[in-house]
Structure 1
Amino acid sequence: MKGFAKKFCYLLLFVCLTLCCTGLAAGNGENSSNTDNFKKGSSNKSIRIALCHLDVAQGPQAENIKKIEKAINIAGRHGANWIVTPETALQGYYFYVIDPKQKEKIKPQPSEDILSLTELCKKYGAYLFLGAGEYDKQADCYRNSCLIFGPDGKPVGRHNKMSAHVGFGAEVWSTNDDKLNPVVCSGVATGVLVCSDIWFLNYPRVLADKGAQIIVDIAAWPPTKETGTPLPSWELASQRTGLPVVVCNQTGTPKWMDMTPGQSAVIENGKVKFLYSGKEAVLLFDWDSRTGKMLSEMFDIVSLY
């Protein structure tokens, strides 16, 4: 009987050890599976983009800076990685029409005027695409630019408008440039254009040929009889390049052109994914930079006021 009891105890111990080992193996298997799933999930590099759809066309610069600060704070609190402003958001699209002497106040950038904006880049660890007029020291002229600042508040690149209406209208102050190169943001080759640049299909094509993964266009372009409807050019740029196109437009009612119909847009596979026009707002969405696909199905719209 003692021998049987001894054998039974050994058998029971063996069963317990087997069950424990099996449980540990199962536990390790589950952890391994979770790790694999995490790794698969991390293959999606999600970038949250905020389009600041603002009324800034008439300035003045000091008021526009306050408004841009407010928009950046909203975008930053909502986790934006890229924060995009409209064309000439700093001075206002019609600043020269309102007062030609303001041209003399345009500075090389970055300047102390925008320090509060670059400080907010650092606060939120975000990239800022700032529409601004700037003085080009090397060329001794003024540019209609999109300035890109990194999460450290320092400039990482710029694009100077290539298709300004030189010689007349609101952009008579600016000189066109002829340089076209992607800017790397969050490890992504980003093609940056200013407004009507995108109408010239060769420009987005060149950016795509140079490795751009997305096109960001900052605009002051509502659909009007005089300027036409920009939407077909945005869709065509996406069709011809195979890239998503993101447009940050603006709103407002300057007497020279009603901006309220102006649309901020996301174009994917040559077709509109989502559009917004109307009151001032910050428009947020998520984009997977590795697949090139939008993760959002609509804008997350946060009113500026």
Structure 2
Amino acid sequence: MALLHLSPQLGAVAENRQLLETAVHRAAELGADWILTPELWVCGYLFAERIGTDWILPTPDPWMQHFCQVVARLQVTVFLSYPERDPHTNRLYNTVFVIAADGTCLGTHRKIHVVPQAEGWASPGDRLVPIGVPPLQVGVLICADAYTPPLARKLHEQGAQLLVSSAAWGRWPHGPEDSWERRSMETGLPLVVCNRTGRDGHDLSFMDAESVVVYQGRRLLAAQAERSVVLTCDWDRDTLTPLSTAFRAILL
């Protein structure tokens, strides 16, 4: 498994797409078959005030079509954070797409706990179900979706065997504190969080943000980085816990 703990440039969509493709290729070279991405890696968290939202298209947009072909060539499964525009309502969503190793989309999760003001561009999702990623049922969360118990609990009740979260969540102004540990303890499920690093302009730092693997209320793995890195770990498919005692970090 690989977690892409990236440092995106605020508003630099083309450059960030290239960064992600580089990271995905590197993760595949390292043997990862599941690859997780951080929340809003493509544009940065506070992108709307800098570049607006006109660039957000219905999916799959041309870049996503290209990326799905890359995924199929590499034969990896990618949990891809990517904002989308609903073609029927024109509403925008903060979404994770689960792309299978053949390049098809297995399912999506639209962020439900949208943060006021900072994510004022996004509508909250209204659907929460586990996504089949054979042979598992995976519950997908996005950042603040994990802040309170109900969403993780509902995924567990619907048969999720593993929780994964795409995040952009540093310690300031409101850090995760023990949210991830609590969601794991309450559900009894492993939780894998792919976070980010870097800064969004001068206003927001993610330099202290952590990517983690949590199980039964304990952090089994955790890592920070000042630059973009690929974090890898070996994974026990039977117990759904890491075999590694620490992330391996590869700088990009």
Question: TM-score scaled to structure 1, two decimals?
Answer: 0.79
Q: Aligned-pair distance for 1:117?
A: 2.1
- The whole-number CA distance in structure 1 between the counterparts of 2:46 and 2:165 is 19
Q: The residue matched to 1:113 in structure 2 has which SS?
A: helix
Q: 2:86 aligns with which of 136, 141, 149?
A: 136
Give the number of equivalent residue pairs: 250
Distance 1:99 1:293, change over 3 A: closer
| 2:57 aligned with 1:107 | yes
Q: Are 2:72 and 1:122 aligned? A: yes
User: Where does residue 87 of structure 1 map in the other structure?
Assistant: 39
Choose which of 222, 229, 232 in structure 2 pairs with 1:275.
222
How far apart in 2 are the matches of 1:142 and 1:215? 24
Deviations 1:11-51 (A, max 9, x none): xxxxxxxxxxxxxxxxxxxxxxxxxxxxxxxxxxxxxx110
Unpaired segments of 5 or more residues in structure 1? 1-48
User: Once the 2 structures are TM-superposed, how far is the Cα of residue 130 of structure 1 from its aligned partner?
Assistant: 1.1
Q: Deviations over 1:232-288 (max 9, x none)?
A: 000000000001110010011221211110111111221011111112100111222
Distance 2:78 2:170 in 1: 23
Aligned 8 A contact 1:69 1:116 in 2: no
From 162, 165, 168, give the equivalent of 2:115: 165
Q: Note the 1:1-305 alignment, pairs <5 A.
A: 49-56=1-8, 58-100=10-52, 103-166=53-116, 168-169=117-118, 171-224=119-172, 226-227=173-174, 229-254=175-200, 255-278=202-225, 279-304=227-252
1:184 positional shift: 1.4
Please tell me the root mean square deviation across aligned C-alpha atoms, in Å.
1.3
C-alpha distance in structure 1 between counterparts of 2:7 and 2:166, whole Å: 14
Q: How big is the shift at 1:231? A: 4.0
Q: How far off is 1:201 after superposition?
A: 0.7
Larger radius of gyration: 1
Q: State the distance in 2 between where 1:59 and 1:285 align.
A: 30
SS of equivalent to 2:26: helix
Return the offset for 1:289.
Answer: 2.9
Asked if 1 retains the 8 angstrom alpha-carbon contact of 2:39 and 2:81, the reply is: yes
Q: Structure 1: how far apart are the matches of 2:100 and 2:86? A: 20
What displacement does 1:57 show?
A: 5.3
1:52–1:120 distance in 2 versus 1, CA, 3 Å = same
The alignment partner of 2:231 has SS state of strand
Alpha-carbon separation, structure 1, partners of 2:237 and 2:86: 32
Q: State the AA in 2 paired with 1:265.
A: V
Aligned AA (1:76): A
Letter in 2 for 1:253: R
Distance, in Å, in 1 between the alignment partners of 2:130 and 2:89 is 21
Whether contact under 8 Å (1:56, 1:93) holds in the other structure is no
Q: Give the distance between the partners of 1:55 and 1:72, measured in 2 at CA.
A: 14
Partners of 1:79 and 1:182 lie apart in 2 by 26
